[in-house]
Amino acid sequence: GENVEQHPSTLSVQEGDSAVIKCTYSDSASNYFPWYKQELGKGPQLIIDIRSNVGEKKDQRIAVTLNKTAKHFSLHITETQPEDSAVYFCALPDKAAGNKLTFGGGTRVLVKP
Amino acid sequence: DSGVTQTPKHLITATGQRVTLRCSPRSGDLSVYWYQQSLDQGLQFLIQYYNGEERAKGNILERFSAQQFPDLHSELNLSSLELGDSALYFCASSVVPGVETEAFFGQGTRLTVV
């Protein structure tokens, strides 16, 4: 099955600084690369996704970059705010298995005011 | 609000018991996924149903089973519970499984086995 590695596992940043989380995968035919945010006591929520026909996608302070050749995609958060503190997961859908998601190990982001 | 409803939110039960977790998918979504989240294993896929039929299976224990009913709600049954089954159980739904698109997650059921 698909193997997804996510780094770092924890990330502490000062408010206003940037945060970058990277995921690498082993072998995927997926053309869809989502990022989920999980706040305490809640389920994961999609915050941004990218399809393989583009290399970068931005949504306000959040961006995702994709390098299919190198098999990695990254989440970038600029001008971090305390409400960005959460656990972030990258994921890969498995087209051969109903698009069930294989998740990275998660990154706990703490934004210090 | 994702539109996916899970009940109960919390469940405390003893070892050896059986519990049922319930999930109502978003209106219009035909596919339901169950995931287990534990501290040491992260988010792990258990099983998927599409329009009432089992579609994909992950590392789901034989003590666990699931089904999807004609109204598309799903239930995850966990039996002969062990301490190690304590975890968060999430249900997610999507429109159809063959399309790479967003999966919407419920708030989860926190199961504690004592």
- Model pLDDT for residues B54-100, shown as the tens digit of each residue: 999 998 999 999 999 999 999 999 999 999 999 999 999 998 766 67
- pLDDT for the residue numbered A40: 92
Mark yes or no for CB contact A41/B107 under 8 Å.
yes
Residues of B in contact with A51 (CB under 8 A): 100
Half-sphere exposure of A25 (CA within 13 A, CB side): 27
Residues of B in contact with A41 (CB under 8 A): 107
- pLDDT for the residue numbered A1: 63
- Dihedrals phi, psi of B83, to nearest 5 degrees: -55, -35
- Is the separation of the CB atoms in B42 and B34 below 8 Å? no
Strand stretches in B1-114, DSSP E: 5-7, 10-13, 19-24, 31-38, 42-50, 53-57, 64-68, 74-78, 87-94, 104-105, 109-113
- pLDDT for the residue numbered A65: 96
Residues of B in contact with A93 (CB under 8 A): 100
In angstroms, what CA-CA distances link B54 with B49, B74, B113? 4, 11, 27
Mark yes or no for CB contact A103/B42 under 8 Å.
yes
DSSP three-state, residue B64: strand
Q: What is the average pLDDT across B17-30? A: 96
What is the C-alpha to C-alpha distance for residues A96 and A75, in angstroms, rounded to an integer?
26
Mark yes or no for CB contact B56/A102 under 8 Å.
no
Token representation of residue A46 = 């999609």
- Model pLDDT for residues B36-52, shown as the tens digit of each residue: 999 877 899 999 999 99
- pLDDT for the residue numbered B97: 64
Nearest to A104 by CA among A65, A75, A62, A67: A75
Half-sphere exposure of A8 (CA within 13 A, CB side): 9
Task: Please give chain A's pLDDT, 113 residues, in tens.
Answer: 678 999 999 999 999 999 999 999 986 678 899 999 999 989 999 999 998 877 899 999 999 999 988 999 999 999 999 999 999 999 998 877 878 899 999 999 999 99
Find tokens 């990330």 and name the residue.
A11
- pLDDT for the residue numbered B98: 64
